[in-house]
Structure 1
Amino acid sequence: MARILIVDDSPTETFRFKEILNQHGFDVIEATNGADGVTMAQAELPDLVLMDVVMPGVNGFQATRQLSRDDVTKHIPIVIVSTKDQETDRAWGKLQGACDYLTKPIDENLLIQTVKHYLNEK
């Protein structure tokens, strides 16, 4: 069973993601900010990370950059999931190392399709 790390400071969003992912057979671990997300990804080595952008302290772009440039975690696909929907945000997310960029509110089918796509590429 694939393990997905959700990095999001919103308990509501985390609950929704976890509910969707659990229904589709994924194991979920959580972090509530970017710094904890980086630490947890390094310790747990999840199969994929869902990363929010707007978080206190280390934001999602910074955490994505750290994970994508760390030899231990650079193989883990990171999908940014954010309310920020500008083309510049998408481009910046990809430059930081994200493999995809989805916007909230998330469409359940698109989320599962995206997660499965990047897990199958591994």
Structure 2
Amino acid sequence: MEDSVTETQVLTRYLRQAGFNVVSVTSGEEAHIKLQAKKPDLVILDVILPGQSGFELCREIKTNIDTKKIPVVMCSTKGTDADKLWGSMLGADAYISKPVDQQELMKIINKFTLV
């Protein structure tokens, strides 16, 4: 889930090139609906989102019995050590700063998934 259409397109392209199926959403509400319908292998969240923050959504994913085992990767321009620590405290499995480097993204994702 990403707040920028351009970033969404870039991330989607990287992931599809690596063989992943990608489902994009534009809000926390839409994410909740998609998560109830089908559990993804991995969730990538921006910190800054319309309505609910990515941090809040991460916490909800990680405290829900049905979704807590889904790896969450935070992806944001907010890349300070404090942001990374906060993401970790809320359950994020990894944190990557923007602009996203394709190799770094794939390295992180491959820790959690198999194509």
1: distance between equivalents of 2:7 and 2:43? 14
Residue of structure 1 in register with 2:70 after alignment: 76
Structure with more strand by fraction? 1
User: How far apart in 2 are the matches of 1:84 and 1:103?
Assistant: 7
1:69-118 Cα deviation digits (max 9, x unpaired): 00010010000000001111000001111001000000000101110111
RMSD, aligned α-carbons = 1.0
Q: What's the secondary structure of 2:40's corresponding residue?
A: coil
Verify: 1:15 aligned to 2:9, yes or no: yes
Alignment of 1:1-122 (within 5 A): 7-119=1-113
Aligned partners of 2:64 and 2:33: how far apart in 1?
Answer: 11
TM-score (norm 1): 0.89
Q: How many residues align?
A: 114
Whether contact under 8 Å (1:34, 1:62) holds in the other structure is no
TM-score (norm 2): 0.94
* Unaligned runs of at least 5 residues, structure 1: 1-6
After TM superposition, give the deviation of residue 34 of structure 1 in Å: 2.4
2-side partners of 1:64 and 1:42: how far apart? 15
